[in-house]
Amino acid sequence: MANHPQRADHEPQPSGRLTDALNAKLAELRGRGLAPQWIEANVEALTRLMLESGEAAIRLDPDPAADRAWYGKVEIRHAAARDQLWIIVTGEVAAGEVSAHVVALPDAPV
């Protein structure tokens, strides 16, 4: 898996809200023709998303047999070892492979 940090020439102006940074990064990636497959977030990031946007920010899968959650139309997964929020995408490297982009946690308090 290729890892690609945020590119300075594509970064939006930070608002201090993780929700805004994540939404901007998802829009950027889609605008570049990439397909977000899932998001990996630690407890801090998941908590910030919920505090900023309410309980609807992260929805549990409606299928009771599925142990998954969603941020918009993208699956979001808990990743305790991550210190930032990662978006895993397809369409950037060889067919069928995934790559990752980082969304840094804004420093501003929630």
pTM given for the model:
0.80
Using alpha carbons, select from 86, 83, 106 the residue that is nearest to residue 40: 86
Residue 99, Ramachandran bin (φ over 0: left; ψ between -120 and 50: alpha; else beta): beta
Q: Domain of 87? A: 2-103
| The pair of three-digit structure tokens given for residue 46, joined into one six-digit string | 């998941």
What is the distance between the alpha carbons of residues 86 and 89, in angstroms, rounded to a whole number?
10
For residue range 32-78, list pLDDT tens digits in order: 999 999 999 999 999 999 999 988 899 988 888 888 999 999 999 99
Side chain identity at 78, as an amino acid letter? H
Task: Determine how many CB atoms are found less than 10 A away from the CB of residue 15.
Answer: 12
With respect to residue 110, please indicate whether it lies within any of the assigned structural domains: no
With respect to residue 52, please indicate whether it lies within any of the assigned structural domains: yes
Q: Is 25 exposed, middle or buried (0-12, 13-18, 19+ CB in 10 A)?
A: buried
With respect to residue 13, please indicate whether it lies within any of the assigned structural domains: yes
Residue 8 predicted with pLDDT over 50 = no
CATH number of the domain bearing residue 6: 3.30.2320
With respect to residue 76, please indicate whether it lies within any of the assigned structural domains: yes
With respect to residue 18, please indicate whether it lies within any of the assigned structural domains: yes
Residue 2 predicted with pLDDT over 80 = no
Q: Looking at the 3D structure of the chain, how many domains does it have?
A: 1
